[in-house]
Structure 1
């Protein structure tokens, strides 16, 4: 029997299970267009795939060559035309064995192509996922993903904070999994996810998402302008009043009639510095308000402008800053 190309088998298997990359889909399309026989062969495989029962996970050491040999032995001598038909359909059946009984194989093939990107050099990093969704990682964040789908789902794993802009694909849901077992299911949106050891916060810029816990039916639906938090066994949502939830991405800090006590924690988060208010100055700081916008300015420039506006003084020692009279 003339064996088909093994790489082509893999592409056909991934295409029928919805896991093809763009490059693999293009290669398959070229093969289909090469001859009517190729297209007819693919249609046979697709029909066998659709009509086959659910795959049962077999022993992990499946041997493709042995499957071909077994198929060869099963073909009995026959007139040439009949034998040719037997050969063709037996080949298709052999591939089907590889496809349906090899659920573990598809899984391991995907795991071999798992990718990881970390923004661990102090810079923001942007990434286009295989489905054309865009992800922007904040400094210190890390994302893991595969080329293709996992059980017809688009799944990524996130540690740290990132901003997602999800490509629309109603047939393949998009899930963000975190180390603390929370899961964000995308319903068509752009949003930020901030993960911690024991909590996850999601702020929706557009569209809606569902925030829940893996293995639990409890969940909240978050719409544009809302923020949801899961932590310490609690799950809740409220309106987002923080204009600066993606300032780390845009470089723009906005404050609208906010007190100095409200402004300083946001500066501390944005610049990754320890900014404290002297206890003797806290009451005054709680009454001082500012409406101001900063664009891609240094921490020292921002504090200097606020100092001129509000009249406080500050002392800086490394990454620690103390605000006082």
Structure 2
């Protein structure tokens, strides 16, 4: 394998697949991966080997028969049993797409219904189907928790991060998305995008079709198709914008679509996609907006295009904070 500077890629790959690399090393590996499909194939194979090893390790530590008996005692409804079989089938079909994804079985309710949690790594997305048939696309650094079967009058899920929902219509069971900031989105059957990261001060909901209600601080706001609501939890205020929803939901298709997208929002989209942090030291770009579609382009290439269209200047900077995991890029 080739060498990047004084570092051999073959020495970095095992640590990269384990998530144990520095920001600079991660950048080198991802630059190498983007060079060819063969490089991408090598990394996928290494992920597969790691996951297989982890799976064998877990299987060696459990007693399958006793575990199965315990689960069967707890699952009292036939629907729950069917859902377990569906999980096994989905896991088999989506084995490779789920690399870098974590499944947790953290707790049960008084009715002995287990809750499952799916979490994505930085820079990765995944798709899953909920017990009611609703489809969810989960963005980078996000997690969603849901019961293995919806048995109450409402279908409750918990989201931290960003997800696009295509909810199966059921007038008898409202679908409720809870966020880290005590704001919820309630629907019957619809398609919408929710962005609610725990570290952000805003929560954004974009409605593509159907109707949803956004609830916060004891108040309620109706959202209509083609609308985006952005709630600031610090000011306890919200704004409503008109949008076709393309830019907000393009991430689920592996794309970045800018449609006269304001400067700050465009940088925010890039931060989520490429796991970086922008530091803007020149305010003159605040009035700029960008239009364009990107699929597999490297971040450097996108910033070069921004540089051509808006004459921005940018550079990578080294953080003095050793705990900082994201690469910092200054716009000056």
Same fold (TM over 0.5): yes
**Cα deviation 1:185-214 (Å, max 9, x = unaligned):** 113211122224465322112211111148
Change (3 A) 1:110 1:235: farther
1:126 maps to: 127
Displacement after TM superposition at 1:128 (Å): 0.6
1:110 maps to: 112
Q: Which has the larger radius of gyration?
A: 1
Structure 1 length normalisation: TM-score?
0.59
1:293 maps to: 293
Secondary structure, counterpart of 1:176 in structure 2: strand
Displacement after TM superposition at 1:134 (Å): 0.9
2:15 maps to: none
**Cα deviation 1:291-320 (Å, max 9, x = unaligned):** 332223111111122223444442223622
1:148 maps to: 149
Change (3 A) 1:205 1:110: farther
Displacement after TM superposition at 1:115 (Å): 1.3
Displacement after TM superposition at 1:14 (Å): 4.0
1:239 maps to: 241
1:35 maps to: none
- C-alpha distance in 1, partners of 2:264/2:145? 37
- C-alpha distance in 1, partners of 2:136/2:221? 23
- C-alpha distance in 2, partners of 1:235/1:311? 34
Q: Which moved more, 1:300-309 or 1:314-323?
A: 314-323
Q: CA RMSD in A?
A: 3.4
- C-alpha distance in 2, partners of 1:175/1:130? 14
1:73 maps to: none
Q: Is 1:21 aligned to 2:21, yes or no?
A: no
**Cα deviation 1:253-275 (Å, max 9, x = unaligned):** 23344565664444334333222
Change (3 A) 1:254 1:200: closer
Contact 1:259-1:289 at 8 Å conserved across structures: yes
Displacement after TM superposition at 1:172 (Å): 1.6
5+ long unaligned stretches in structure 2: 1-70, 86-107, 319-326
2:229 maps to: 228
Change (3 A) 1:240 1:115: same
- C-alpha distance in 2, partners of 1:9/1:314? 59
Change (3 A) 1:246 1:14: same
What are the within-5 Å matches in structure 2 for residues 166-177 of structure 1?
166-177=167-178
Contact 1:244-1:252 at 8 Å conserved across structures: no
Contact 1:160-1:196 at 8 Å conserved across structures: yes
Secondary structure, counterpart of 1:320 in structure 2: strand
Change (3 A) 1:300 1:121: closer
5+ long unaligned stretches in structure 1: 1-6, 27-105
Secondary structure, counterpart of 1:307 in structure 2: helix
**Cα deviation 1:42-85 (Å, max 9, x = unaligned):** xxxxxxxxxxxxxxxxxxxxxxxxxxxxxxxxxxxxxxxxxxxx
2:67 maps to: none
Secondary structure, counterpart of 2:271 in structure 1: helix
